[in-house]
Amino acid sequence: MAEARPYRLMGVVNVTPDSFSDGGTYLDAGAAVAHARALALEGADILDVGGESTRPGADPVSADEELRRVVPVLEGIAASDWTPARPEVSIDTSKAPVARAALAAGADIVNDVSALRADPDMVELIADSGAECCLMHMLGEPRTMQRVGGPQYEDVVDEVKAFLEERLSFAVGAGVSEERIMLDPGIGFGKTLAHNLELLRRLGELVALGRPLVVGTSRKSFIGRILADAAGEAEPAAVGRRLPGTIATNVLALERGASVFRVHGVGPVRAALTVAAATLGERWTVGGGTTRTS
């Protein structure tokens, strides 16, 4: 019997030379497709393909370059023999031309870190295509979001919630079906370590918006900073040491109602969430707080 899971795992397929975690590893289309297949075997429900790094300080790339990177990968995924079934495919982009080409190549979801602010044509494209989408909070843009002095909020949870609520309303007003929208608080995107932890503690306030909540903590620098501080180290723990922290944050997020987890290592996170979900049982809540009873 297939495993019934109260969550979805979004496996990261970075087709970039400069992503913080695995930049350059899957820049070759064949390597990226092979990685996508491996993530699917580990249990990924969604394959999130991106051709532009959104790490702090990242330089933007042109739509033409982004298309050159991702289209062969998307076509390779579409052409692969999937048994039993291909996972959904997400395109991680804020550019409408890239999203349009990706949807034509078989993508199902548009994951827009700008929440439909970067390209005025994006919302109409999503509405007309009927694609699912993910809208994320980010303060500023990748080049500026972690500038010296740090991002400032009066109350990070209240402000992120208000932003996501406004973006949800905007998308629905422009013709995007609410049932096809996911929301992402943007852990690490224009937030300090303290902001990230506060968002994780109070995720339930964002779940109350009533849409599936996406959490992306995988391998991020705040986890490295926590580990370094605990060990008395000056520099954040290396990316390769951040899996336990990734697992811990995702388990806590599941307990607080998040239901989509964007991760690099699908297998270990899936195992941890399987045990967490079984342990929580009837106490696990979905969406706006509906109690899970099976």
- Give the start-to-end residue ranges of the domains of the chain: 8-54+62-112, 150-216, 217-252+262-269
Which superfamily does CATH assign the domain made up of 8-54+62-112 to?
Answer: Dihydropteroate synthase-like (3.20.20.20)
| Mean pLDDT score, 27-50 | 94
Quote the pTM value: 0.91
Please determine, for residue 253, whether its predicted confidence score (pLDDT) is greater than 70. yes
Closest to 256 measured CA to CA, from 281, 284, 224, 228: 284
Phi, psi values for residue 110, rounded to 5°: -110, 120
Give 256's pLDDT tier (boundaries 50, 70, 90). Answer: very high
Catalytic residue among 220, 225, 256, 270: 220
By DSSP bridging, strand 109-112 and strand 132-136 are: parallel
Residues 188-212, mean pLDDT to the nearest whole number:
96
CA 262/CA 264 separation, integer angstroms = 7
Given a cut of 70, whether residue 60 has pLDDT beyond it is yes
Q: Is 25's pLDDT higher than 50?
A: yes
CB 111 within 8 A of CB 134: yes
Active site residue 86: no
Beta strand segments in the chain, E = 8-14, 46-50, 88-92, 109-112, 132-136, 181-184, 214-215, 260-263, 285-286, 290-291
Strand partners for 49: 13, 91
Which of the residues 202, 256, 262, 270 is marked catalytic?
Answer: 262
SS3 state at 90: strand
What mean pLDDT value characterizes the chain? 90
- Identify the pLDDT of residue 33: 96
Burial 173-207 (b: 16+ CB within 10 A, else e): eeebeeebbbbbbbbbbbbbbebbbbbbebbbbbb
Cis preceding-peptide flag for 84 (omega within 30 of 0): yes
Active site residue 262: yes
Lowest mean pLDDT among 1-5, 189-193, 211-215: 1-5
Greater model confidence, 60 or 267: 267
pLDDT at 26: 74
The residue ranking higher by pLDDT, 150 or 275, is: 275
Contact 49, 107 (CB under 8 A): yes
Which tens digit of pLDDT belongs to each residue from 75-126? 999 999 998 899 999 999 999 999 999 999 999 999 999 999 999 999 999 9
Residue 236, pLDDT above cutoff 90: yes
